[in-house]
Amino acid sequence: MHPAGSAAKVIATLWWVLLGGATAIFLFVAGLIAWAWYGPSGERDERGFVIGLGLVFPLIVLAALLTYGLVVGERLLPRAGPDVVRVQAEARQWAWRFGYDDAPERETENVLHIPAGRPVDVAITTADVIHAFWVPRLAGKLDAVPGRVNVLRIEADTPGRYEGLGSEFNGPGYRDHRFSVIAHDAASWDRFLQGDAP
């Protein structure tokens, strides 16, 4: 919940909106029950309760919410752009191997290097069972499925080190199935691509 990338930020905002809305609805329902309990009995208002509150109210709330979710989801999709960097992530029990389109000979183990401030597409796959790639502060997660390559868009706003996690249960080594993401500024990214040790 400390977003450091655009995708994570958008999702964090989404969360605060959801939390606010959910709290409001919960308080409303609780108040309604209290009113039903202590108010004068005998009143019969089937239309108000069932149609008004049961049908119309959730339909309006849900329609608004779905639209919001869809718009956010579309913004997070990996779209082509001039400065998109592409990297590969291959998971196995219990490690990660990363490759770089811009430097095909480079390969790193359990550390992913990316440039800061540029969108990065991570092509995710697996060598054995199902895993998931997740850097909580940068973006949501995406699964590594045998025989498939899934692409996740991540972006780090500032240079630094971010924790990454395998987040699909994958056996006894699951707890320590982690990796790091190092976001470089432009100069250090160039040095990395040219083969300097990070």
Kindly identify the residues of this chain, within the stretch 119-138, that bind other proteins according to CB under 8 A. 128-130, 132, 136
Give Rg (Cα) of the chain. Answer: 23
Q: Report the alpha-carbon distance of residue 105 to residue 121 in Å, rounded.
A: 18
- What three-state secondary structure class fits 171? coil
Segment contacting other proteins (CB under 8 A): 96-104, 113-121, 165-173, 179-187? 165-173
Q: Does 147 bind other proteins (CB under 8 A)?
A: yes
CB of 99 to other proteins, least distance (A): 19
Number of residues that bind other proteins (CB under 8 A): 71
Which one, 108 or 170, has the nearer CB to other proteins? 170
Closest CA to 174 of 142, 118, 132, 139: 132
Q: Which of residues 84-103 bind other proteins (CB under 8 A)?
A: 93
Residue pair 182/198 in contact by the 8 Å Cβ criterion:
yes
CB of 85 to other proteins, least distance (A): 20
Exposed/middle/buried for 113, CB within 10 Å: 0-12, 13-18, 19+? buried
Q: Which of residues 15-34 bind other proteins (CB under 8 A)?
A: 15, 18, 22, 25-26, 29-30, 32-33
Q: Which of residues 37-76 bind other proteins (CB under 8 A)?
A: 37, 39, 41-46, 48-50, 53-55, 57-59, 62, 65-66, 68-70, 72-74, 76
Which one, 37 or 105, has the nearer CB to other proteins? 37
Q: Does 111 bind other proteins (CB under 8 A)?
A: no
Q: Which residues pair with 89 in a beta bridge?
A: 98, 124
Q: Report the alpha-carbon distance of residue 9 to residue 29 in Å, rounded.
A: 30
Q: What is the largest CA-CA distance in the chain?
A: 80
Tokens 């400390």 sit on residue: 2
